[in-house]
Amino acid sequence: MVSVLETDGLSYMYDDKIVLDEVSVSVGKGEILGILGPNGCGKTTLLKNLNRNLHPHGGCVTIDGTDLEDITKRSIAQKVAVVPQTNEIRFAFTIRDIVKMGRMPFQEAFRGESSADLEIVEKAMERTGLLPLADRFINTVSGGERQRAIIARAIAQTPEVILMDEPTLHLDVNMQFEVLDLVSSLAKESALTVVIVSHDLPMVTRYCDRVILIHDRRVFAVGSPEEILTPENMRTVFKVDAELERDSRTGRSTVRLFGSCRV
């Protein structure tokens, strides 16, 4: 597997508190990687280091073999798109305006969108089911529709990598499946690399090729969901009784949760 995005000995601190301690992660082309761990373990901090919103205190992050510290923010934005955990937008942009923002890293100053840009925007809205809402103001639609607009903006960015922080947090159950089905198909069809931070163990198990468990500021385990989400690991990291089982209807693995436990 050729790594697209990689961290090597990444460490990060808030004030004097170590949040991530020598974390090494690699993500391959077309791979969907899930980052799992309890609240406060550093998952979102790791995600922010992956697009240089934060700067490591130790180690490095590379994309296509080049250190992010040696790349301009514009060049990073041409390769990496982000779907943040919160989708609050204070200004009255239309949904089409929001999705158009995904093309900004490719535009020269004081020039509008090209016909190719507009075609990419329309396709992104179509794929996320937003064309009927394209001219609605973003502050007049539901939280789930706002989240789809943010995902459409990321798709319109035509990136190599999408970083997603709790992407299904504001979505109805059916839309959670639709969005992650879309992300999964993009990974397969376009060799898109996807990194998902989530608390949703069943969803991550269903859609991710590999998972990383973060525990006590370090990588606790890395591998396929079947290898990593063992009852023992879930008990240690999440303090829950759970087991991995096969869904007879889909043939995929899922996590069955039984309740909290004490280790």
What pLDDT was estimated at residue 143?
78
Q: What is the pLDDT of residues 184-233, one digit of tens each?
A: 888 888 889 999 998 888 888 889 999 999 998 899 999 999 999 999 99
Q: Which residue has the tokens 């280790």?
A: 263
230 φ/ψ angles, rounded to the nearest 5 degrees: -80, 160
Q: Summarize the confidence of residues 86-104 as an average pLDDT.
A: 86
pTM of the model: 0.91
d(CA 244, CA 209): 15
- Please report the pLDDT score of residue 87 as a whole number: 64
- Summarised one tens digit per residue, pLDDT across range 33-56 is 999 998 888 899 999 999 999 999
pLDDT band at residue 22 using 50, 70 and 90 as cut-offs = very high
The tokens describing 124, both together, are 């992104």
What confidence tier does 70 reach under pLDDT thresholds 50, 70, 90?
A: very high
Residues 197-210 have pLDDT tens digits of 988 888 888 899 99
Residue 8 pLDDT grade (very low, low, confident, very high; cuts 50, 70, 90): very high
CATH number of 3-260: 3.40.50.300
How many angstroms separate the CA atoms of 9 and 58, rounded? 7
Residue 127 neighbours by CB under 8 Å, 6+ apart: 152, 155, 182
59, 83, 120, 152 from 56: Cα distances, Å: 7, 21, 34, 29
3-state secondary structure of 51: coil
pLDDT of 170 higher than 90? no
In what order do the strands lie in the sheet containing 17-28?
A: 17-28, 3-14, 58-63, 66-67
